[in-house]
Amino acid sequence: MSEINRSNDDLLLEQEATTTELQTLNTNGAKEAKQDTMITDLGTIAGDTTSIDGKVSTEAKQDDIISELQDIEAALAGAGNTGTETTVAASATSVALVAANTARREIYIRNDSNKDMWIVYGATATATSAIKLKRGDILVEDRYTGQMAGIWDTAPTGNARINEVTKV
């Protein structure tokens, strides 16, 4: 019966009391001659200026990345550069908080009153409108540019403090 024994350096085949040493790979996975070839090949790969996907690497690749970042920066140039602060008195009937404004980038509305406040994205707020701000709560909106209205619980005192950020 054949038995195979392995050590770090050799692979021995024993068959009927005869041991035959096989030429094996060393622990690094290649014969010395193959190692020299592999080292040469790695040197060639390291000196290559193209990546696997065929794009130029190193400095040229860095230039591409810088260019892409500049494109992103230009796109973000649409961010707001002017803030307008207003105050709207609390009311138990619906009041306009802000008019529609296509230049709006963000809006912050803080309920600075003694009662809960409801806000609607539209012209008329009711006590069942979807957005409820408790006293001191802040709504931050960065996508909606239409008109907004608010209403408070009965007999409110205080204000809605609004800061609208626009791009001029």
Same domain flag for 68 and 126: no
Residue 85 CA to chain centroid, in angstroms? 30
Q: What pLDDT, on the 0 to 100 scale, is given for residue 69?
A: 78
Task: List pLDDT tens digits, range 130-152.
Answer: 899 999 999 999 999 999 999 99
Helix, strand, coil percent content, the chain, rounded in steps of 5: 20, 40, 40
Paired tokens of 131? 């957005």
Number of domains in the chain: 3
3-class SS of residue 58: helix
Q: How far is CA 93 from CA 13, 27, 156, in A?
A: 96, 84, 10
Whether 18 and 56 share a structural domain? no
1 and 65 part of one domain: no
55/125 same-domain check: no
- Please give the residue range of the domain that contains residue 60: 49-78
> Looking at residue 54, what is its pLDDT?
55
Domain stops at, among 38, 63, 78: 78
Task: Answer yes or no: do 138 and 62 share one domain.
Answer: no
Q: With a cut of 70, say whether residue 94 has pLDDT above it.
A: yes
Query: Could you read off the pLDDT of 96-121 as tens digits, one per residue?
Result: 999 999 999 999 999 999 999 999 99
Mean pLDDT of 152-162: 96
